[in-house]
Every structure is written in structure tokens, then in C-alpha cells.
């Protein structure tokens, strides 16, 4: 008995302090630590079970955060749709503006061309009315004057005719070339055809009435005879 106690109770250590050896029935220190950890976790779980309101509150906050995130996602999609619609509207307005601008530019160009044409050919009607008088002057100049008086009259007619032709030339009027030219329906009006050994076909052989142009516009085509 005494021997057992002496084995259980250890002697003093090097520092003179007594050390106590663990009893065979006493659990080890590591086991006590694990047991304390398990007890703490059980206690925590027990507290959670005892406080269900805390868990519900956490779940509610999570659900609320998810709902806000979904709401933000929907708002983002709506904003993106609105942006796309605004882009389409802006593109349509740009296209409409470009069409209107092009139409307006075409209108200005047509108006400018019309005004220039009016200025360019404003004397056309007056010149057309003068052509019969010019034809009469030319017929008179082709006649033969036998007496001195007739010759003097022809000289006066010739002076008037030259003055008229000079004025018409300043206005841009010029006669159309006909005899010896290839027949062109834009400038010549064929009233007769005749076989000719000296000319190929479709050549103007004779001019019955002189044609005139005002700048680049035909006022009256030449009345001609054409070779077959």
C-alpha cells in the first residue's frame, strides 16, 4: 500500500517543486480539449435552436438582398431597352433629316437651273418672231435690181439686215450649218430627198429655209433637201 502511494506521488523536480503524475483513472489533457470544443459547438447549436428568430432574420435579409438584386437587374434591362429605342429614333430622325436635306438641295439646284434658263433664253420668243422678217430680208437681197433706185433700196435693206444679224449674234443667235453637212434630225428638217452621184446618202444638198440656234438651243431647224 505504501509502495503504491509512493509510485503515485512523484518526488520533487529539479526546481525543488513537487510534480504530480496523472492518475490511471484521470483522462488525458488532449481529450479534455476536444471535449470542451464539442461542448462549445453543442452550446452554439443549442443557442441557435433556442433563438429561431435570429435565423429567420438572416434568411429574410438574404431574400431581401436577392430581391433588390433582381429588381436592379430588371431596371437595367428596361434602361437598355429604352437606350436601344432612343438610338433607333435618333437614327430614323437622322435619315429623315438627310432625305429632307437632299430634297432641299435638289429643289435649290432645279430652281437655280430654271432661273439660269430663263435668263439664258428669255429672248427666244422675240427672236422666233423676228425670223420671218429676216427670211423676207434674205429673199429681197436675192432679187436683182435693174434700176438705180432699186439698187439703192437693196443697199438700204442690206444695211438693215446686217444690223439685225449683228444684234442677234450679240444675243447668242447663230445660223445652223446645213448644205454639205450630214443630215442631223436635231438641226435639220428634211422636206425632200434626191439621188445624188456626187454625195453619199443622208447629206444635205440644198437649204430652203435657214435654221437658227439661240446659244445651245434650236429655235428653228433648217428646212432642207437630203440625198438618198
pLDDT digits over 3-53, tens only?
A: 444 444 444 454 444 455 555 555 555 555 555 566 656 665 555 555 556
Q: What pLDDT sits at residue 50?
A: 54
d(CA 151, CA 144): 8
Return the DSSP state at 23: P
Average pLDDT over residues 69-98: 88
**pTM, rounded to two decimals:** 0.51
Does the pLDDT value for residue 192 go beyond 90? yes
Grid cell in block for residue 3: 509502495
Is the pLDDT at 73 greater than 70? The verdict is yes
Tell me the chain's radius of gyration from C-alpha atoms. 61
- Residue 139, all three cell numbers: 429673199
What count of residues does the chain have? 228
Q: Model confidence over 114-167: pLDDT tens digits? A: 888 887 788 888 899 999 999 999 888 888 777 888 888 888 989 999 999 999
Whole-number pLDDT of residue 55:
63
Residue 141: the pLDDT is 87
Residue 60 has pLDDT above 90, yes or no: no
Q: Which residue has the higher pLDDT, 61 or 160?
A: 160
- With vertex at residue 52, the alpha carbon angle to CA 57 and CA 68, rounded to the nearest 5 degrees, is 20
pLDDT value of residue 226: 95
Percent of the chain with pLDDT over 70: 74
* Mean pLDDT along residues 78-97: 89
Question: Which of 175, 198, 199 lies closest to 187 in space, CA to CA?
Answer: 175
The mean pLDDT value for 207-222 works out to: 93
Amino acid at each position: 500500500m505504501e509502495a503504491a502511494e509512493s509510485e503515485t506521488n512523484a518526488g520533487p523536480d529539479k526546481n525543488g517543486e513537487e510534480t504530480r503524475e496523472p492518475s490511471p483513472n484521470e483522462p488525458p489533457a488532449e481529450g479534455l480539449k476536444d471535449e470542451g470544443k464539442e461542448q462549445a459547438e453543442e452550446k452554439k447549436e443549442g443557442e441557435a435552436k433556442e433563438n429561431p428568430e435570429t435565423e429567420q432574420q438572416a434568411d429574410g435579409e438574404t431574400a431581401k438582398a436577392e430581391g433588390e438584386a433582381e429588381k436592379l437587374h430588371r431596371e437595367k434591362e428596361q434602361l437598355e431597352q429604352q437606350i436601344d429605342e432612343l438610338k433607333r429614333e435618333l437614327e430614323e430622325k437622322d435619315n429623315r433629316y438627310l432625305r429632307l436635306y437632299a430634297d432641299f438641295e435638289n429643289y435649290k439646284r432645279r430652281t437655280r437651273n430654271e432661273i439660269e434658263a430663263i435668263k439664258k433664253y428669255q429672248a427666244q420668243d422675240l427672236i422666233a418672231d423676228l425670223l420671218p422678217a429676216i427670211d423676207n430680208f434674205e429673199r429681197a437681197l436675192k432679187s436683182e435690181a435693174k434700176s438705180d433706185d432699186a439698187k439703192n433700196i437693196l443697199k438700204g435693206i442690206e444695211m438693215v439686215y446686217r444690223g439685225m444679224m449683228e444684234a442677234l449674234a450679240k444675243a447668242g443667235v447663230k445660223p445652223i450649218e446645213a448644205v454639205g453637212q450630214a443630215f442631223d434630225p436635231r438641226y435639220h428638217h428634211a422636206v425632200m430627198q434626191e439621188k445624188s452621184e456626187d454625195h453619199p446618202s443622208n447629206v444635205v444638198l440644198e437649204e430652203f429655209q435657214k435654221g437658227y440656234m439661240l446659244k445651245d438651243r434650236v429655235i428653228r431647224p433648217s428646212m432642207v433637201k437630203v440625198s438618198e
